[in-house]
Amino acid sequence: MLDSTGPAGVSWQGARPNKAKVFESYKFGDTLGTGGFAVVRLATCRSTGKNCAMKVMTLPNPKESGGHNERENIFYEIGLLARLQSEYIIRLDEFFVENNKVYLATELLAGRALVFFSRATRQDVHSLPPTHYSALETFNLNPTP
């Protein structure tokens, strides 16, 4: 479920993590892509059988220098993604936080759709105010060769 409450000191900005265990909710498959901060894997929802792209990011240690702010920025970006509704932006279905990682279950795009999405998203995102699109640009994906 996506709502606005979060643990002390963290603002979900419109999104709240699913409290279930991610590996009980999803079966993980092949790696679809990797980036500087995340790995994206094919995942299947155990209750519906629906496939999705599961983005897995390790959260920065909040006790290290800047770690708390980096975590806040990640959750802020998740909140933005949860609120945005556009045919050019991947839909966030739900997300999980466990074992110092965040798991984003997103709409699955395949083949040429990903190339189109990449180009269209840049146009769509850049039509937003700069304070919003700068945060969203970190949600990129580099297809695995």
Q: Residue 82 CA to chain centroid, in angstroms?
A: 9
Q: Is the pLDDT of residue 79 over 90?
A: no
For residues 70 and 58, the answer to whether their CB atoms sit within 8 Å is: no
> Mean per-residue pLDDT for 72-83?
84
| CATH code of the domain covering residue 54 | 3.30.200.20
Candidate from 59-63, 124-128, 138-142 with smallest mean pLDDT:
138-142
Residue type, 129: P
Q: For residue 14, tell me if it sits in a domain.
A: no
* 144 in any annotated domain: no
Is residue 3 a part of any domain in this protein? Answer: no
- Residue 9 domain-assigned (yes or no): no
Strands (E), 1-145: 26-34, 38-45, 51-58, 92-98, 101-106, 142-143
Please give the average per-residue pLDDT across 69-73, as a whole number.
Answer: 85
C-alpha span between 82 and 3 (Å, rounded): 9
- Tell me which of 10-14, 33-37, 53-57, 97-101 is least confident: 10-14
Is 112 a member of any domain? yes
Cα separation, 63 vs 132, whole angstroms: 27
In a domain, 17, yes or no: no
pLDDT tens string 91-102 = 889 999 999 999
What strand order describes the sheet that includes 51-58? 92-98, 101-106, 51-58, 38-45, 26-34, 142-143
Task: Please tell me which residue, 31 or 77, carries the higher pLDDT value.
Answer: 31
Q: What residue numbers bound the domain in which 37 lies?
A: 22-138
| 65 occurs within a structural domain | yes
pTM of the prediction?
A: 0.69
Interatomic CA distance for residues 126 and 74, integer angstroms: 19
Once rounded to an integer, what is the mean pLDDT over residues 127-137? 45
Token pair in block for residue 83: 């609120």
What pLDDT is attached to residue 20? 92
Within-domain flag for 49? yes
Q: Please tell me the distance from the alpha carbon of residue 107 to that of residue 5, in angstroms, as a whole number.
A: 24
**Average pLDDT of the chain, as a whole number:** 74
How many domains does the chain divide into? 1
**Residue 103 in contact with residue 55, Cβ under 8 Å?**
yes
